[in-house]
Amino acid sequence: MPRIAADRLKQTVREVFAAAGCRPPEEERVAHYLVESNLVGHDSHGVIRVATYVAWLREGKVLANQKPTVVTESDTLAVLDGNFGFGQTIGESAVKLGIEKAQAQGVAVIALRNCGHLGRIGDWPTLAAEANLVSLHFVNTSGAGNLVAPYGGIDRRLSANPIAAGVPRAGTWPMIVDISTSAVAEGKIRVALHRGDRVPAGSIIDPEGNPTDDPRVFYGPPPGAILPFGGHKGYALGMLAEVFAGALTGGGCTQPGITRLSNGMLSIYLDPARFVDNDGFQNEVRRYIEFVKGARTVAADGKILIPGEIEALNRERRLAEGIELDETTWRHLTETCQTLGVSPLVAAG
């Protein structure tokens, strides 16, 4: 597979979105978060999305250069309308507002609706953790993201509904949880499709409800569905995320007949220093992580990782070695560059 340095890839993606109509700093934000997803190993939310984002811009399904509108606000709460702007812009603005309120008041809740694709949700608790805040985020898709069958069902009725959380750690990378409540994220099915791979068994079903590991069957036509992770447990969490991020934000829960992808996100921010002594909090987090990592491993050469650690390791390695892109993603990027008059990508030698 072609390999490219992260900074070069980011520059090309920035030029693509500038040519597509994004003004500073939006084109930089979109490029940053997409390439960051590749760096940490989540290619499903990286530059594989570029061609789709540009198509959405042309079709008016996402709007460039938008700012969130404040619907209602207090010292600790805000409801924001994203005006169908890029999630990388609107999401960052919403998170920064939550950080500002939590730093001032100790706690904050931000409800965001009508936002373009928010990308890798793990970016948002990471941003909060860098400001020494604990955070929890629920996300849904009210329209085009109808992908997941309910527990015991066949037809699509939920979106992938990720839940993410972050814990700051003094002097090192934060503990980040970022999980889809579906057995697999749709973007990872798309990556498997591009690479000619199968998806994990028990993740998807065909249009009649039969298990399959073929991503082509999932996309159809007619399409199949993704299963919830962990059976009824993931289904229950997905329903909660749907209500928290959809009904409570005012953006709406998953429904048929809508072709525009719209994300909602409910975010809760906490300042640990308002609850306990901050040094004591950090010491207890450190002690507990050491206790967990000290568990015996099944494999003789095994290693216990904590949430967010594999992303930190991937980032270090890919910064040094470059980012590999599958041939389909490379081709789509090249075609998008040609369409917009941007210099094409050149693989590392």
Q: Is the peptide bond prior to 222 cis by the omega test (within 30 degrees of 0)? A: yes
What is the 8-class DSSP label of residue 148?
B
Average pLDDT over residues 83-92: 98
Mean pLDDT over all residues of the chain? Answer: 96
Q: Enumerate the β-bridge partners of residue 134.
A: 270
What is the number of alpha carbons within 13 Å of residue 82 lying toward its C-beta? 34
What is the per-residue pLDDT for 318?
A: 98
pLDDT of residue 180 exceeding 70, the answer is yes
DSSP three-state, residue 23:
coil
Q: Are 343 and 12 in contact (CB under 8 A)?
A: yes
Which residues of the chain are in CATH 1.10.1530.10 domains?
1-65+322-349
| Residue 116: closest CA among 80, 153, 141, 148 | 141
User: What is the amino acid identity at position 315?
Assistant: R
Structure tokens at 206: 């065909």
CA distance 261 to 146: 9
Average pLDDT over residues 177-201: 93
What is 200-266 written as a DSSP string?
A: PTTSEE-TTS-EE--HHHHH-SSP-EEPBTTTHHHHHHHHHHHIIIIITTTS----TT--S--EEEE
pTM of the predicted model, to two decimals? 0.95
Count of C-beta atoms within a 10 Å radius of residue 104: 12
**The pairing of beta strand 211-212 with beta strand 3-4:** unpaired
The total number of residues shown for the chain amounts to 349
| Residue 269: closest CA among 108, 28, 42, 120 | 108
What is the per-residue pLDDT for 67?
A: 98
Structure tokens at 210: 């039969």
Average pLDDT over residues 68-91: 99
- The rounded radius of gyration (Å) of the Cα atoms in the chain is 20
Count of C-beta atoms within a 10 Å radius of residue 5: 17
User: Is 253 exposed, middle or buried, given 0-12, 13-18 or 19+ CB atoms closer than 10 A?
Assistant: buried
Q: Is the peptide bond prior to 256 cis by the omega test (within 30 degrees of 0)? A: no
Q: Are 92 and 120 in contact (CB under 8 A)?
A: no
Which residues of the chain are in CATH 3.30.1370.60 domains?
66-182+228-293
| Residue 261: closest CA among 62, 20, 91 | 62
Q: Considering the domain delimited by 1-65+322-349, tell me its CATH architecture.
A: Orthogonal Bundle (1.10)
pLDDT tens digits, one per residue of 125-175: 999 999 999 999 999 998 778 999 999 999 999 999 999 999 999 999 999
CA distance 137 to 245: 9
- CATH annotation of 66-182+228-293: 3.30.1370.60
What is the per-residue pLDDT for 214?
A: 97
Within its chain, how far is the Cα of 87 from the centroid? 10
Q: Are 203 and 226 in contact (CB under 8 A)?
A: yes
